[in-house]
Amino acid sequence: MNIGITVFPTYGGSGIVGSELGRELAARGHSVHFISYALPTRVCPLSDRVQFHQVDVFDYPLFEFPPYDLALASKIVEVAEAEKLDVLHMHYAIPHAAAAYLAREMFKPVRYLPFVTTLHGTDITLVGARSSFLPITRFSIAQSDAVTAISDYLAAETYNTFGLSNVEVIPNFINAEDYQRRENPELRKRLAPEGEMLIMHVSNFRPVKRIPDCIHTLAEIRRRNSDLSVRLIMCGDGPERERAEGLANHYGMADSVLFVGQVPNIAEYLSVADLLLVPSEMESFGLAALEAMACEVPVIATDVGGLPEVVINGQNGYLVPLGDISLIAERSIEILSDNEKRHRMGRNGRAWAVERFNTEKVIPQYERVYEKVKSEK
């Protein structure tokens, strides 16, 4: 099939999942055409089967905010005709699903172009639920030829917010070959020069990720157990970074908290981690947790959203109440101080990730959705 995929190209769960999906589809013989304003983060390299079509946004003084959704719809029509697209896959409802609807209507004189919308979280729980966006979000989702969500939690939220029940749950996924623990003594030595244990955090550093909780946790670990040598590795970047750096300085832990920025191959870093912290206020799935488990890293995460569908409490990590720094620190010390438990949880996490979320199980679900919407029109 010829498949058009639109994602937000920046770091974040929806962009990562859309990018990885495109690569997996191409590996299965499909032709994938990414349509966005910039090359998605993890789409590299391009090839005959993976192409990128850039949306040019018209910058005109009359427009206080450039009309990206309209430019996207026009570009979709252009690519659909030139590349004979069979189906569109829009990741994140607004504005992508609305743009796909416009493109489908514009393309009708040529033929019907079905589109699938995948909901990722804040497009439902934050953006789409706002009064100014709720009607257009509901309409765009309802007009989709198929709708998927990345967790049972998000499917339920879609029904609660919009009254829409025709949502198929297709979870996020990992390629078990790409995401596995590979020893890297050089990287481990660079991150832990004195042989410290490594706690890791991976995110886009938005307020919802509760970045300060990671710093507070390290401080509490040091207060409770001064003999446990630990460093905190912060992977990612975003608006909360400066605040987190200031907090690390406040605690006198600047040398123990390393901000490494955006990491091109996160599996390399996860492979040297001993523990992953996910203290988020909300996660519709928890992709970082899944990637960590595939690399045999135990996870401590908040008991919110879709995280309980990924982290099995006491087996591959622990779930804790939101903001409970004391318990996060207690569980962290428990895992870092017990090699047998840490390795057992790591093995359990790997087995769970491969069994439940491997590409070999998940990608065919998307292929079936594409075939269904294509055959119905």
Q: Which CATH class is domain 2-173+358-376?
A: alpha beta
The domain made up of 185-357 is a member of CATH 3.40.50.2000: yes
pLDDT of residue 199: 98
Distance of alpha carbon 308 from alpha carbon 372, whole angstroms: 30
Same fold for the domain at 2-173+358-376 and the one at 185-357? yes
pLDDT of residue 107: 97
pLDDT of residue 93: 86
Long-range contacts of 162-167 (CB under 8 A, 24+ apart): 162/124, 162/128, 162/134, 162/137, 162/138, 163/138, 164/138, 167/119
Cα-based angle 370, 376, 377 (whole degrees, multiple of 5) = 100
Q: Where in the chain are the domains?
A: 2-173+358-376, 185-357
Cα-based angle 27, 372, 68 (whole degrees, multiple of 5) = 70
pLDDT of residue 9: 83
Structure-derived torsion over alpha carbons of residues 236, 24, 306, 325, reported in degrees to the nearest 10:
-30
pLDDT of residue 120: 87
pLDDT of residue 11: 59
DSSP 3-state assignment of 41?
coil
Please give the chain's pLDDT, 377 residues, in tens.
Answer: 999 999 988 756 778 888 899 999 999 999 999 999 888 777 667 889 999 999 988 776 666 667 889 999 999 999 999 999 999 999 988 899 999 999 999 999 999 999 999 998 877 766 655 677 788 888 999 999 999 999 999 999 999 888 888 899 999 999 999 999 999 999 999 999 999 999 999 999 999 999 999 999 999 999 999 899 999 999 999 999 999 999 999 999 999 999 999 888 899 999 999 999 999 999 999 999 999 999 999 999 999 999 999 999 999 999 999 999 999 999 999 999 999 999 999 999 999 999 999 999 999 999 999 999 999 86
Structural contact between residues 116 and 87, judged by C-beta atoms closer than 8 angstroms: yes
pLDDT of residue 126: 64
pTM for the model? 0.92
